[in-house]
Amino acid sequence: MFPIVTREEMAQGTVILNEIEAPLIARKAKPGQFVILKANEEGERIPLTMAETNPAKGTITIIYMVVGKSTALFRDLKVGDGYQDVIGPLGRPTHVEKVGTVLCVGGGTGVAVLHPITRAMKEAGNHVICVIGARNKDLLILEEKMKAASNDLRICTDDGSYGHHGFVTDVVKEVLAQTQVQQVVAIGPVPMMKAVCNITKEKNVPTLVSLNPIMIDGTGMCGGCRVSVGGKTKFACVDGPEFDGHLVNFDELNLRLKAYCTEEKQCYDGYCRLAE
């Protein structure tokens, strides 16, 4: 078992943080890599990119939104409970080097994945501008941490309850108009990453995205996580999870993420009825 040592609720309980004891993974993990977690014997294998690792303490941290039965099971685990299985670190780490100015764009729980990458980019000597967004002020996560990890943090909310009133793409356009940016990293919901890539493509600024398709083993064996990148099929688990955003077929990815939406709903509804 992999015990949970810290648990936090964020964004009005819709987003959960778990710090998990997994010393072997913590020792090896680098920013951008993911783990696969399984709550119990009957559980699904769920891939999540790590938000933090602490090799000295032997822990890794994941931050996830509750969207279905598996994440609801995760939510219901308390400190002292544990995950039956945690596998990793998987995927290729983010390529971090000093390029000049880096613009990091995060939406929703993508901000959690963006945090270690942002910090690594700054530690590598880059000037890091950060844009993070959420639907409203209460749903925004990791503001303080992102502020510490970057040189310049901008915030957007869809309803204008905090920071810029509008989407992260507005601010991305603004930053690109004012500043010479050498590298963009965009992590969040698929429509957000697609919209950011449309803008940066026009400006010809290299853009890294981190994808989270459906997968089982995470080691290149099942091929469920295939994505089209530059017209070629890639496996997100071993070739990614990060790719050149200008080459990713986001529309295909968005459709493939819905492959099991009927089954997911059936499973979640069953779980919610049990809880009632």
Q: Which residues are at the interface with other proteins (CB under 8 A)?
A: 24-25, 28, 38, 42-45, 69-70, 73, 84-90, 216-217, 219-224, 226-228, 233, 238, 252, 255-256, 258-260, 263-264, 266-267, 270
Please give the backbone phi and psi of residue 126, each rounded to the nearest 5 degrees, phi first. Answer: -85, 155
Of 93 and 206, which CB lies nearer to other proteins in the complex structure? 93
Q: Which residues of 200-224 are buried (b: 16+ CB within 10 A; e: fewer)?
A: beeeebebbbbbbbbbebbeeeeeb
Of 69 and 154, which CB lies nearer to other proteins in the complex structure? 69
Q: Closest distance between other proteins and the C-beta of residue 35, in Å? A: 10
Of 85 and 143, which CB lies nearer to other proteins in the complex structure? 85
Q: Closest distance between other proteins and the C-beta of residue 246, in Å? A: 19
- The span from the CA of 59 to the CA of 73, in Å, is 20
Q: Closest distance between other proteins and the C-beta of residue 221, in Å? A: 5
Residue 254 in tokens: 């968005």
Q: Closest distance between other proteins and the C-beta of residue 152, in Å? A: 35
Number of other CB atoms surrounding residue 56 within 10 Å:
8
For residue 266, the surrounding DSSP H or E stretch is: helix 261-275
Of 1 and 148, which CB lies nearer to other proteins in the complex structure? 1
Q: Closest distance between other proteins and the C-beta of residue 188, in Å? A: 21
Beta strands in 112-177 (DSSP E): 127-134, 152-157, 164-165
Long-range interactions of 21-26: CB distance < 8 A, separation 24+? 21/58, 21/59, 21/82, 22/58, 22/59, 22/60, 22/86, 22/88, 23/58, 23/59, 25/53, 25/60, 25/86, 25/88, 25/89, 26/53, 26/54, 26/55, 26/57, 26/58, 26/59, 26/60
Of 147 and 256, which CB lies nearer to other proteins in the complex structure? 256
Q: Closest distance between other proteins and the C-beta of residue 69, in Å? A: 6
Of 162 and 271, which CB lies nearer to other proteins in the complex structure? 271
Q: Closest distance between other proteins and the C-beta of residue 230, in Å? A: 14
Of 194 and 226, which CB lies nearer to other proteins in the complex structure? 226
Residue type, 85: D
Nearest partner of 133 among 209, 71, 196, judged by Cα: 196
Residue 138 in tokens: 């209460």
